[in-house]
Structure 1
């Protein structure tokens, strides 16, 4: 049965985007605090924090697929689609350029915005298929990632697919495999609501609360919110540290900087997870041997570098 297109905003869909943005802001603020050494949370390496980040990314990409159904299920509105694509692509380019100068080798080569641009284009044919097929394909992409494992193609040219054995060291890396999967799952779920005339349930209350309206507002301006929230949060933490309002542990910052550089060099040839464990072990062992300060003050000293290399090799074999 063909459904009449809904008019007006579906406020609960906007609220969902707003909530996803809130969780992302919480993660980024925690990352900023850790980066400046205000807290000792291992936001980059802890399994719990990693899972939190993955759930956030998955929710965003799910909502990308769901939103495609809301906007184009009754017929692709090409002008609107390309306008949105160009905006997100320009934003993705801006993120890449900015992070190149800020984080250098860890700059964003293919982050969540890049993934949204490519996934949105690849997902268009799935707007015309049955939701069962979209759901199966979405689950299949995710399972494919786990089935293939870490090693597939040893070429960096395929980093955007996720089909490479050389892990990317980046502050934001969201390749199509497995992250195209949540987009297709969002399309499948959106199609279910569309087919059975359930989308109207997303209109919510006729008199939404102030909190709901607030989340919905940010959800309607999700791209701008995404681009602005991290620079603002990063700036707030930087200002707090510079003004002395927030105290930092310089030692934690030095350890984190060493471990990040170590992982970046190691992961060119070794699995990133193994590298992280070996680099944490190396920094701890260097401290135990009393040569950590020597490494910080004389990083180019041949004897100190030789000791660090020997310690790293021992940690890598553990």
Structure 2
């Protein structure tokens, strides 16, 4: 019954059009990311000093961007259609970024970046959706977020969150590129933008269940029918802008500080 209601709501949303509030949030976050990456280029590629960027403030800024993008991607999954096509496009875009950075900027290469992650999550949810919807929404929401917090430090060899390490994981988990993709990076691995399945898939699932909760309480229109002109347009074209922004930012920075 719940799955049927969700499918009916998808049809209603497709007829009614996009939710401008979601596009606006995505657009604002995208602009924040572009500004963050501009600062990153200036600091790490051009040797400029930006007070606070390399400290806690910069880290919180970076985390706010990726948390929002991944949570929003999970939230919007149930609103979309053609999941296989969209998932392959996003995943393929991530692979494209990997090849381009390996060729053009190997010292700042991106392997298993955020687009590879989001594309993977979108594809994984296709066979998992019906099973996930059998779980009570509130339990799925809280459980997914708690698992995200528990696995947050898995990339550094522990279960735990930030400064709290609960359990050290076996070194044998961290073997090769496949384990790196899963969340257990092999020795010597480097990526300027690394988002593995663990822990981030659980944050994607948190967004997925958050959508179910909002929809179940009939609050979708109330929460997301607003818009901020301009930002919603940016949000509607987020993938294209994401792919183009970094070479554009680098090119402008290079012209300003190297020529």
TM-score by length of 1: 0.66
From 220, 240, 243, the equivalent of 1:227 is 243
Query: 1:192, CA displacement in angstroms?
Result: 0.8
Q: Which residue of 2 aligns with 1:56?
A: 65
Verify the 8 A CA contact 1:151 1:164 in the aligned structure 2.
no
Verify the 8 A CA contact 1:34 1:42 in the aligned structure 2.
no
From 105, 108, 111, the equivalent of 1:109 is 111
Query: 1:203, CA displacement in angstroms?
Result: 4.4
Structure number with the bigger relative contact order (C-alpha 8 A, sep ≥ 6) is 2
CA deviations on 1:110-155 (whole Å, 9 max, x unpaired) are: 0001101111122342452432232112321331344625644130
Q: Which residue of 2 aligns with 1:217?
A: 233
Q: Which residue of 1 aligns with 2:145?
A: 138
In the TM superposition, 1:134-173 aligns within 5 A as: 134-135=140-141, 136-146=143-153, 148=159, 151-152=169-170, 153-157=173-177, 158-164=179-185, 166=187, 168-173=189-194
Q: Provide the C-alpha distance between the structure 2 equivalents of 1:85 and 1:170, rounded to a whole number of angstroms.
A: 22
Q: Give unpaired runs (5+ residues) of structure 2.
A: 160-164
From 157, 175, 178, the equivalent of 2:199 is 178
| CA shift in 2, pair 1:164/1:42, >3 Å | farther
| CA shift in 2, pair 1:214/1:167, >3 Å | farther
Q: Secondary structure in 2 aligned to 1:179?
A: helix
Query: 1:39, CA displacement in angstroms?
Result: 2.1
Query: 1:204, CA displacement in angstroms?
Result: 2.7
Q: Provide the C-alpha distance between the structure 2 equivalents of 1:193 and 1:216, rounded to a whole number of angstroms.
A: 21
From 98, 101, 106, the equivalent of 1:99 is 101
| CA shift in 2, pair 1:43/1:239, >3 Å | farther
Q: Provide the C-alpha distance between the structure 2 equivalents of 1:88 and 1:169, rounded to a whole number of angstroms.
A: 22
Query: 1:40, CA displacement in angstroms?
Result: 1.6
Q: Provide the C-alpha distance between the structure 1 equivalents of 2:215 and 2:60, rounded to a whole number of angstroms.
A: 31
In the TM superposition, 1:235-246 aligns within 5 A as: 235-243=251-259
In the TM superposition, 1:276-287 aligns within 5 A as: none
- Aligned CA RMSD, in angstroms, stands at 2.4
- Give the number of aligned pairs: 231
Q: Secondary structure in 2 aligned to 1:55?
A: helix
| CA shift in 2, pair 1:215/1:167, >3 Å | farther
Q: Secondary structure in 2 aligned to 1:213?
A: coil
Q: Which residue of 1 aligns with 2:74?
A: 65
Q: Provide the C-alpha distance between the structure 2 equivalents of 1:100 and 1:44, rounded to a whole number of angstroms.
A: 26
